[in-house]
Amino acid sequence: MARESAEATRIMVAVNQSSIKGYPHASISSRTAFEWAVTKLVRSNVTGFRLLFVHAQVPDEDAFEDMDSIYASPEDFKNMKERDKIRGLHLLEYFVERSHQYGIPCEAWIRKGDPKEVICNEVKTVHPDLLVVGSRGLGPFQRVFVGTVSEFCVKHVECPVITIKRRPDEIPQDPIDD
């Protein structure tokens, strides 16, 4: 018999929003990574695993688009922050609900900052058994300009990492999206 250690295997899943559909839609690569972990690793053993969803929220540079940037008041800033927070929560809600549908225990939280640094820091603090990150599977030319969070994590994170690439039939017109 395989050992069943007392503690569940804790899989951290880094999730982000869609660049095509906007908040609170989950990106294709996040969803692919999540569904892969459930289908291939957790399978029917739902009590043996615990999913930890981390969403790194990049302070939104375009947040002023729909308000008058010259006359922005402190109140505007407060509203903006509030709105960001709600959008992030809606994104996490998607994954938490999916987990509950599968019956897999989970936790979810938001951290502000550069996704690469956020994920590395969270791994240092939380010590998951495994980190799962989605990847857009960009070619070397695209990677130079865009940078990839998954590559950075594989190099710098202190736990085993699985990178899940999008399926070829799910890649959007511009591969840099999602």
Beta-carbon contacts of 52 under 8 Å, excluding residues fewer than 6 positions away, are: 10, 11, 12, 13, 106, 107, 108, 126, 128
Binding marks (x or -) toward its own copies, 110..149, rule CB under 8 A? -------------------xx-------------------
Q: 90 or 165, CB closer to its own copies?
A: 165
Residue 154 within binding range of its own copies, rule CB under 8 A = yes
Residue selected from 1, 6, 70, 144 as contacting its own copies according to rule CB under 8 A: 1
Q: Which residue of 80, 89, 96, 162 would you call a contact of its own copies, by CB under 8 A?
A: 162
Quick one: 69 or 101, whose CB is closer to its own copies? 101
Query: Given CA atoms 20, 25, 28, 29 in this order, what sign does their dihedral have?
Result: positive
Looking at residue 174, the DSSP 8-state letter turns out to be: S
Rounded (10°) angle between helices 115-126 and 149-156: 30
Q: Candidates 12, 26, 42, 91: give the one binding its own copies (CB under 8 A).
A: 42
Q: Which residues, in sequence order, are CB contacts of 117 under 8 Å at separation 6+?
A: none
d(CA 130, CA 121): 14
Cis peptide before 24 (omega within 30 of 0): yes
When asked if residue 43 is in the footprint of its own copies (CB under 8 A), the reply is yes
| Nearer to its own copies (CB atom), residue 26 or residue 38 | 38
Task: Write out the two tokens for 84.
Answer: 């960001």
Residue from 19, 23, 24, 36 binding its own copies (CB under 8 A)? 36
Window contacting its own copies (CB under 8 A); options: 44-52, 62-70, 79-87, 108-116: 44-52
Q: Which residues bind its own copies (CB under 8 A)?
A: 1-5, 9, 36, 38-46, 48, 102-104, 129-130, 154, 160-165
